[in-house]
Amino acid sequence: EAGVTQSPTHLIKTRGQQATLRCSPISGHTSVYWYQQALGLGLQFLLWYDEGEERNRGNFPPRFSGRQFPNYSSELNVNALELEDSALYLCASSLAWVAEETQYFGPGTRLLVL
């Protein structure tokens, strides 16, 4: 069974541009989570989607947004890119949004903002 997949693997943008990152969850998983992992830091929670709805949001500005599609795949959009947005963006999926559902991670998209 395929795991969580993310595209692209690498993305290079310049300040002020927009970035779109994509995630496909494990088949059967309805919840998708996004995390930011800046160099040398831990994972910071960004967004959580379940059944097409945004369920929770981390402490990030509104220029970080996303959506979940009917097939449960998800997009993360980052507008007006800043240098400090350079990071590894990780997507995870879980079977449902009930508590204690293990999140399984994809390989991430490495975003570099120049």
Integer CA distances (angstroms), 42 to 1, 48, 113, in order: 28, 18, 19
The nearer residue to another protein, 35 or 72, going by C-beta atoms, is 35
Q: What are phi and psi of 76, to 5 degrees?
A: -115, 125
Compute the distance between CA of residue 85 and CA of residue 80 in angstroms, rounded to an integer: 10
Query: Looking at residue 29, what DSSP letter applies?
Result: -
Q: Which residues bind another protein (CB under 8 A)?
A: 4, 33, 35, 41-45, 48, 55-56, 58, 90, 92, 97, 99-100, 102-108
The least distance separating another protein from the CB of residue 88, rounded to whole angstroms, comes to 8
The nearer residue to another protein, 14 or 98, going by C-beta atoms, is 98
The least distance separating another protein from the CB of residue 43, rounded to whole angstroms, comes to 4
